[in-house]
Amino acid sequence: FWLKPVPLHSEGLEAKAGSPLRLASSPAATMQNDEGRIVDLYLPRKCSATNRLIPAKEHGAVQLNVGMVDEAGRYTGEFFTFALAGFIRQRGESDSCLNRLLHEKGLLTFSK
């Protein structure tokens, strides 16, 4: 197949001074299903501790699902998702960051 050049004044495209060519926000530019949910192939994750974007090629990052349990210790089907970047894990701070995040959600108390 052959790629043909797209002119700058094509419908759905806009160019700003000093920035690369970007797709304008039009219905054709966003990938949503009939229900309005985003169905892009790749949505980047953010580190829960630092709010940094986690690149697709970072192999040191982890994503944890912490499940909720009832008084009898049975899983209720609800969970919280936390993503930790490899940067945090490499520095050895993932345990303290996870403790802080769990405390902020009310899942961990530090009282004796």
18-59, pLDDT tens digit by residue? 544 444 454 455 677 888 887 777 778 999 999 999 999 999
Q: What is the pLDDT of residue 3?
A: 52
Mean per-residue pLDDT, 47-73:
94
Asked if residue 12 lies in contact with residue 24, where contact means CB atoms within 8 angstroms, the answer is: yes
- DSSP secondary structure letter of residue 102: H
Q: Could you give the CA distance from residue 31 to residue 16 in angstroms, rounded to a whole number?
A: 23
Collect all residues with Cβ–Cβ distance below 8 Å to 59 and sequence separation of at least 6.
86
Q: Could you give the CA distance from residue 95 to residue 90 in angstroms, rounded to a whole number?
A: 11
Give residue 58's Cα distance to chain centre. 13
The β-bridge relationship of strands 62-69 and 53-54 is unpaired
**Residue 112: pLDDT band with limits 50, 70, 90:** confident
